Structure 1
Amino acid sequence: MTARTVAILLGTDLNAQNGARVREAEEGSGGKLQLCYRRWGGSPEGDGVDHQKENRGVTRRRWGGSPEGEGVDHQKEMGWITRRRWGGSPEGEGVDHQKEMGWITRRRRGGSPEGEQRGHQKGGQILRVCTALSCLLGVKIKIHNIRAGRSTPGLRPQHLSGLQMICDLCDGCLEEAKVGSTEIYFTPGKINGGNHVADTKTAGSVSLLMQVSIPCVLFAASPSQLILRGGTNAEMAPQIDYTLQVCKPIMEKFGFHFDCDVKMRGYYPKGGGEVKVKLSPIKWITPIDMTERGTITKIHGRAFVAGVLPIKLANEMSSAAIRCIRKEMRDIYVNIQPLQEPKDKAFGNGNGIIIVAETSTGCILAGSALGKRGVSADRVGLEAAEMLLMNLRHGGCVDQYLQDQIIIFMALAKGVSRVRTGPLTLHTQTAIHFAEMLTKAKFTVNKINDQESGSERCIIECEGIGMTNPSI
């Protein structure tokens, strides 16, 4: 495999009006792939240089012409690509612009350059997707402008612990990585099994640590044990209950199994939770087909309190959620157990709820919520119930929070995977974009509009790259 470095520049505003440019240049014996987010009609975010004049970037271009406002013929002077036959060179130009100027020339048929005028999720998710794929594919990466525009830009402790774990998994080299860093360099090595520890030292999510590490250790040389410390039930991340009851059984449809033991639960703001994951490597990932939702056979869940919070709150969350669901689904028995976490199994105070629906075809969808100061227990229960009902109405086989988590497995699988979902989330669009860019897997998304319900469904199809484990 030819060595290459992938450089990713994260922008501060990646909404739909922004564009992305991808460029590729030869560097010695290897190539360099760089993704640069750019405001539509402007220079790269955070950069005050006029790249049109400096000859380092194109902002807007009339189709087939030079940049607006420029009198220079850049096709001849600088080799900028304007139009390209599918898989060929720019029309009328004999120059190999990939070598001369480094711009990638892959283009959707009849469409704009990849990423152009499309928004992508930024920050933590891109770090997880790209570092995991870097580790698996043996590709060096450089990520710029991390969490730019945030009140606290750069890496947070939970991001850093995930990066350090991946580095440890493969005996890699991680440079410039510290809390607050806005740029990192990662050079992967060979993926090893054995014991690995990651500690956010905060309430950073252990479920997100699992997301980034599990795909990697599937291709290790020997079995792995991961000790993950942080928050088990944290905001802006899957609760550990969701990971166990929804993610785990669906992930295992890809042909692998893992054990996950919750040793201690930890909550915001201190964390203190600990999860132990055991997993054996596999030869390859099996593709999945989840396109038939079937009928709902079971709805169950747990409403919990921990620490000094009274069991009354768990009862109120459970009751409110059950009332909400029964208004819409009268024929299904709903069982949400209120419970108090054992004192020796929970660190700190917290409360929350998860509700899971299972179907006749093996689909699992959920809704969940965590308690917050100033929010009533009833409101927490209603939030989880409404989320579940929303995920059931669209008729998809996975819920909105599982969509993006299965993309990496689809990209690596040996064969074609197909999954029916509701409307694509921004996280899913981002995961697909970077999985395609790094693995060259082929994704297609077919949208289906349901006239009766007015909801949008999608079929995500991917021809995986069939990655195999050389150690097995």
Structure 2
Amino acid sequence: ALLARFGVKVSAKVNRRGFYPKGKGELEVRVSLCERVEAAAAASTSEPRAAVLKRFKTIVVCGGGKPKDWKGESWKPLATIAEKMAEAALKEYTDDSTAFEKEVSCDEKSLSPGLSIVLAAETIYNCVLGASGVMEPRTKNWKGQAKPLVGEIAAALRARAEADEHLQDQLLVLMAIIAGEHSFRCSKLTTHTLTSIELLN
């Protein structure tokens, strides 16, 4: 979706997730040839805009489906807890039209067991702010593990950011190689972003 704003058509399919220790995840990516790319359609405005969430999605994926207790159903409570935490922490950025969605799946092709969570907040300005992490399934301390991820999104919304801290440095590379003027608003600059700025200059 992000590359599409630059006029680049890309599709991606996860064939297998690679959890530690065996790894060997497999991602299939298809890129269509295009004659030209352009500046992203959603450029920053001169004034920061108050963020209102259009959609908030919680995605939980487990890997290594062989053990009997290693099923997607087992991890629905994690998705529910993370969603409830987000509803409470991001209350000032939501209204009656905000949609909260959950998705839980189990990748039985994964060579090692694992558990991951992705939180994605989409604003009414079509900006997607995300946070993700690998969870420790044996502790069942879902709140403690999900809290920092919800905090990342809350911090980005407070800063009225248009890109989360994990996307900053990647956007800079696209902006450097694609013609046109680009801009986006972000929260604090990460070390990865500062390194990208130094290298690109």
Aligned partner of 2:125 among 361, 364, 383: 361
Q: Which residue of 1 aligns with 2:163?
A: 398
> What SS is found at the alignment partner of 1:416?
coil
> What SS is found at the alignment partner of 1:421?
coil
Q: Which residue of 1 aligns with 2:3?
A: 251
Per-residue deviation, 1:372: 3.2
Q: Which residue of 2 aligns with 1:325?
A: 86
Q: Which residue of 1 aligns with 2:103?
A: 337
Q: Which amino acid aligns with 1:335?
A: E
Per-residue deviation, 1:266: 1.6
**Structure 1 length as normaliser, TM-score?**
0.37
Cα root mean square deviation, aligned: 2.2
TM-superposition CA deviations, 1:42-95 (whole Å, max 9, x none) = xxxxxxxxxxxxxxxxxxxxxxxxxxxxxxxxxxxxxxxxxxxxxxxxxxxxxx
Q: Which amino acid aligns with 1:404?
A: D
Contact residue 317 and residue 377 of structure 1 kept, 8 A: no
Q: Which amino acid aligns with 2:189?
A: L
Per-residue deviation, 1:375: 4.6
Q: Measure, in 2, the Cα distance between the counterparts of 1:415 and 1:333.
A: 34
Aligned partner of 1:291 among 19, 24, 44: 44
> What SS is found at the alignment partner of 1:420?
coil
Note the 1:17-416 alignment, pairs <5 A.
249-288=1-40, 289-291=42-44, 295-307=52-64, 308=67, 309-311=70-72, 313-330=74-91, 331=95, 332-341=98-107, 343=108, 345-372=109-136, 375-378=139-142, 379-416=144-181
Contact residue 395 and residue 421 of structure 1 kept, 8 A: yes
Tell which has more relative contact order, 1 or 2 (C-alpha 8 A, sep 6+). 2
Q: Which amino acid aligns with 1:384?
A: L
Q: Measure, in 2, the Cα distance between the counterparts of 1:263 and 1:277.
A: 10
> What SS is found at the alignment partner of 1:407?
helix
Q: Measure, in 2, the Cα distance between the counterparts of 1:313 and 1:323.
A: 18
Using the aligned pairs only, state the percent identity: 23
Distance 1:377 1:353, change over 3 A: farther
Q: Measure, in 2, the Cα distance between the counterparts of 1:296 and 1:413.
A: 29
> What SS is found at the alignment partner of 2:148?
helix
Structure 1 unpaired stretches of 5+:
1-248, 437-472
Name the count of aligned residue pairs: 186
TM-superposition CA deviations, 1:355-391 (whole Å, max 9, x none) = 1111222111112111137653513333332222222
TM-superposition CA deviations, 1:415-465 (whole Å, max 9, x none) = 1111111111111111111112xxxxxxxxxxxxxxxxxxxxxxxxxxxxx
Q: Which amino acid aligns with 2:59?
A: R
Contact residue 354 and residue 366 of structure 1 kept, 8 A: yes
Per-residue deviation, 1:392: 1.9
> What SS is found at the alignment partner of 1:290?
coil
Contact residue 58 and residue 82 of structure 2 kept, 8 A: no
Larger radius of gyration: 1
Q: Measure, in 2, the Cα distance between the counterparts of 1:255 and 1:377.
A: 42
Q: Which residue of 2 aligns with 1:424?
A: 189
Contact residue 115 and residue 137 of structure 2 kept, 8 A: no
> What SS is found at the alignment partner of 1:423?
coil
Q: Measure, in 1, the Cα distance between the counterparts of 2:119 and 2:125.
A: 18
Q: Measure, in 2, the Cα distance between the counterparts of 1:314 and 1:373.
A: 9
Q: Measure, in 2, the Cα distance between the counterparts of 1:338 and 1:359.
A: 23
Per-residue deviation, 1:347: 2.5
**Structure 2 length as normaliser, TM-score?**
0.81
Contact residue 336 and residue 355 of structure 1 kept, 8 A: no
Distance 1:352 1:280, change over 3 A: same
Contact residue 369 and residue 383 of structure 1 kept, 8 A: no
Distance 1:300 1:325, change over 3 A: same
Q: Measure, in 1, the Cα distance between the counterparts of 2:158 and 2:74.
A: 28
Contact residue 353 and residue 384 of structure 1 kept, 8 A: no
Per-residue deviation, 1:304: 2.0
Q: Which amino acid aligns with 2:190?
A: T
> What SS is found at the alignment partner of 1:431?
helix
Structure 2 unpaired stretches of 5+:
none
Q: Measure, in 1, the Cα distance between the counterparts of 2:30 and 2:103.
A: 28
Q: Measure, in 1, the Cα distance between the counterparts of 2:63 and 2:148.
A: 19
Q: Which amino acid aligns with 1:399?
A: D
Per-residue deviation, 1:414: 1.3
Q: Measure, in 2, the Cα distance between the counterparts of 1:350 and 1:383.
A: 19
